[in-house]
Structure 1
């Protein structure tokens, strides 16, 4: 029996991004395990329903947390107990710890997907000083490094990865075979959200944390509404900054903003949306933008690694500089007030995202898993 281990900081990461690849391996008759920790939601339960064996490992996003010493001990005990033929790791801390235990699985194939190195052009110096050496240490413990954007592929060379170890794959894939949502169903969903038909819906899908940079849009929302009064902003996700953003919106008396929380019907939300946005400081290759593109949506994004791999300025959206309030306002107002331009850019989004589809990407993952 071939045993495969997926490991990431939280079960949610695996459940959201990697189920198609778990199924691919299960179809080959492999036993799949996941070593991770729960944060919120029922991701572990979803994985177990797929006959995935889940093993709790107390990873902590803070690399210096004592939890990670305990996590390392847990990983080494797991490797002593079960022989794994393929180990596929994700997220910086989990990837560092699991690869650091490589001596316990000398014959297992160690694959690491870098979902955006924490050191990148424009990153704080402390990121380079801390995370770059962590990756450097584990070059020898990595059989295959999967990069998902062009900048990280170049960075892999600086780390000293030989070319044969680096595989560039277009992210984790996106479903482009979308079930059509009827006009009646769209109207019903809008009514449930209390959004009238003439409104232009901007959707922002991201965890509420500092990196996702919601405040860039919120602080400019009043000026956007002055020039485009039919704009509505839907914020989907959970995270530590929710209360802070809600307080800001209330204090500034910002109108037409809704917090959707966690939704398992994002396909439907995107089908009633007119624009997709993400203004992060750091990204790998964001699935939310990919899904928006699959739904024929124009994009407004920051000039950030991963985002600029998906969006070409004034082709399928707008790529704006961090902190440029005037450019941000102009980009949104232009799209909100011009439905023809939205349609043209949305069509180009749909065409471009075909190279990032599950069908295209899963072929590349199959090659990585099958390679001896």
Structure 2
């Protein structure tokens, strides 16, 4: 391992040092003495407001000025009240929209040049690619430090060939204009170390789960079920996430159609483009009354308390905050077994793992196992509470704080 290839291991959350290093990132002993300006960049503001504001506050408490740039950030109250300054950038999700791409590059270049930033930290594929390309000359001239957190590469073991042909060459090229790459799952970390030009690669245990919030949650299971319209004797499956192909909730609906048990309810919290399709699919399978689409919810901790099993059948996942939150509550897990999800799941330990996320029969078998084996659910629940602790936000905050400070101090 080279001097600048760093590693965090989940169970100990200890920074693995070479002999020349005197900085213990895992324990949070390295701090910046000088005021520093950081710009966080994301494609959409919801990514910043949903996942990254605790990291913003952590660095501000150390005296950093932290600004944000994203599409829609001007209308995001959480971002406006947290960041020191915000900048709206109209990113295009269409790679062939050349005019919009050029406009976005000019915009981010102007923001960084005028802002005098020490560190630019990019998130999400579109924003990270355009920003790194636009600022490549500043990176080469060492005018700024460019950091990139990969929340799950689109190329991974088992990914479609098209993903490898498109995304992998782009990321490999842009790695030469990336000073620090932060990965959140072991597969991405290993590949980045072997294949990319980025001089410093870290692995951290995700962006962090607010374990204490879910531990503190107290709610009457009966009252909450009444509020949601779920019978007391129901066996409740819960999924949380966007209603989209990547999250793959349709495999659960199809499996429940085959099982045809009126006591099983499937609750999905989230919004997305497949809402109407899922309702039609539930009707076609004769389970429309047992599939509940709740939309966007702010009481996920309470809903977890009334569920029996959490189901996370994603076809691709950088890590997955929602299943880790459910594990912190003590829910057994039915999940796919792909890229980032592998870091915290094991068949028979955390619940039931499904190698092929599209396998309806495997999902049927997993649901029936959970429904019929109460002792198995209890064992998995206890295991999951312990496993989730390794992904506590306090570890991620310490890690990122020290990664930031180390790079500025170089």
For normalisation by structure 1, the TM-score amounts to 0.93
Residue 100 in structure 1 maps to residue 133 in structure 2: yes
**Where do 1:194-273 residues align within 5 Å?**
194-226=229-261, 229-254=262-287, 255-273=289-307
Residue 140 in structure 1 maps to residue 176 in structure 2: yes
**Where do 1:149-228 residues align within 5 Å?**
149-161=185-197, 165-177=200-212, 178-182=214-218, 185-226=220-261
Closer, same or farther in 2 for the Cα pair 1:88/1:320, shift >3 Å? Answer: same
Quote the Cα distance in structure 2 between the aligned partners of 1:333 and 1:284: 28
Contact (CA 8 Å) 2:234, 2:264: kept in 1 or not?
A: yes
Provide the residue aligned with 1:47 in structure 2. Answer: 79
Secondary structure, counterpart of 1:89 in structure 2 = strand
**Where do 1:69-84 residues align within 5 Å?**
69-84=102-117
Quote the Cα distance in structure 1 between the aligned partners of 2:271 and 2:82: 25
Residue 311 in structure 1 maps to residue 345 in structure 2: yes
Q: CA deviation at 1:158?
A: 4.1
Matched length: 366
88, 106, 111: which is aligned to 1:56? 88
Residue 28 in structure 1 maps to residue 66 in structure 2: no
Provide the residue aligned with 2:370 in structure 1. Answer: 335
After superposition, give the CA deviation of every residue in 1:193-236 in whole Å (9 maximum; x if it has no partner): 1112221221111111111111111111122343xx42211111
300, 312, 315: which is aligned to 1:278? 312
Q: Cα RMSD over matched residues? A: 1.8
After superposition, give the CA deviation of every residue in 1:144-165 in whole Å (9 maximum; x if it has no partner): 1111111101221343346x51
Provide the residue aligned with 1:367 in structure 2. Answer: 402
After superposition, give the CA deviation of every residue in 1:96-128 in whole Å (9 maximum; x if it has no partner): 111112224632221111111111111121111
Contact (CA 8 Å) 2:215, 2:328: kept in 1 or not?
A: no
For normalisation by structure 2, the TM-score amounts to 0.85
Residue 12 in structure 1 maps to residue 19 in structure 2: no
Provide the residue aligned with 2:10 in structure 1. Answer: none
Structure 1: give runs of 5+ residues left out of the alignment. none
